[in-house]
């Protein structure tokens, strides 16, 4: 029988800590959440590998290092409401639930949303709401949000999503330019979002977050 607990500890010791992620809430959450319970059943053995894990189409479960570093820069606090866009089977929402007051896990695939809901309930994550809907529309009915986290690559963020971020809030996404990408953190002040580069990472661009070039004659 696979010792997933040992693999989870190894993930933190070889992927998370060496990436200069040392905040206790992040380390504790990633040691506590059973990542193998939030991946497709056929990929449980690959749950703790240091790479993005395909969920089908353009969707992935972000590699542990990328998620941890995004959370480190976002610096969540226990009184905040977080929108997790593209939550997949619920792993990221489960991790974030340890650090925030409440999480809205947005997933547009009904089957993945159903699995996420079941997995989160089984894990006792009672501060997570799983919302089924288009990822590029956000979840305005539960907002505005202190923090928005986008689980995948993006070239463009729809204004409707930026509008769901509170003034003073933060948003994180992996901005892709071809095969290269970087995580940027946006800080909303006086209705405008100012972006700062954080670190290099990569993920497929999520459908609905592509950059649409203006029509040219």
Whether 192 has a pLDDT exceeding 90, the answer reads yes
Determine if residue 186 is left, alpha or beta; phi over 0 gives left, psi from -120 to 50 gives alpha, anything else beta.
beta
Segment 185-209 shows an average pLDDT of: 95
pLDDT at residue 197 in the model: 96
In terms of C-beta density within 10 A (0-12 exposed, 13-18 middle, 19 or more buried), how is residue 175 classed? buried
Q: Average pLDDT for residues 27-53, to the nearest whole number?
A: 95
With b meaning 16 or more CB within 10 Å and e meaning fewer, what string describes 187-213?
Answer: ebeeeebeeeebbebbbbbbebbeeee
Rounded CA-CA distance 167/185 in Å is 14
pTM of model > 0.85? yes
* Average confidence (pLDDT) over 160-181: 95
Per-residue pLDDT, averaged over 21-49, amounts to 95
């Amino acid at each position: 029988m696979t010792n997933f607990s040992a693999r989870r500890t190894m993930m933190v010791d070889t992927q998370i800590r060496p990436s200069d992620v040392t905040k206790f809430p992040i380390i504790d959450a990633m040691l506590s959440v059973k990542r193998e319970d939030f991946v497709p059943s056929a990929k449980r053995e690959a749950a703790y590998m240091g790479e993005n894990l395909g969920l089908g189409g353009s969707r992935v479960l972000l590699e542990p290092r990328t998620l941890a570093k995004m959370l480190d820069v976002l610096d969540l606090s226990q009184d905040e409401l977080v929108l997790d866009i593209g939550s997949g089977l619920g792993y990221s929402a489960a991790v974030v639930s340890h650090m925030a007051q409440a999480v809205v896990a947005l997933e547009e695939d009904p089957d993945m949303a159903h699995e996420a809901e079941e997995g989160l309930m089984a894990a006792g994550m009672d501060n997570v709401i799983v919302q089924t809907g288009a990822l590029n529309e956000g979840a305005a009915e539960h907002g505005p949000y202190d923090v928005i986290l986008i689980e995948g690559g993006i070239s463009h963020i729809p204004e409707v999503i930026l509008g769901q971020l509170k003034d003073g809030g933060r948003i994180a996404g992996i901005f892709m330019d071809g095969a290269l990408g970087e995580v940027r953190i946006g800080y909303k002040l006086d209705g405008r979002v100012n972006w700062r580069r954080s670190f290099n990472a990569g993920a497929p661009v999520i459908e609905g977050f592509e950059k649409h070039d203006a029509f040219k004659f």
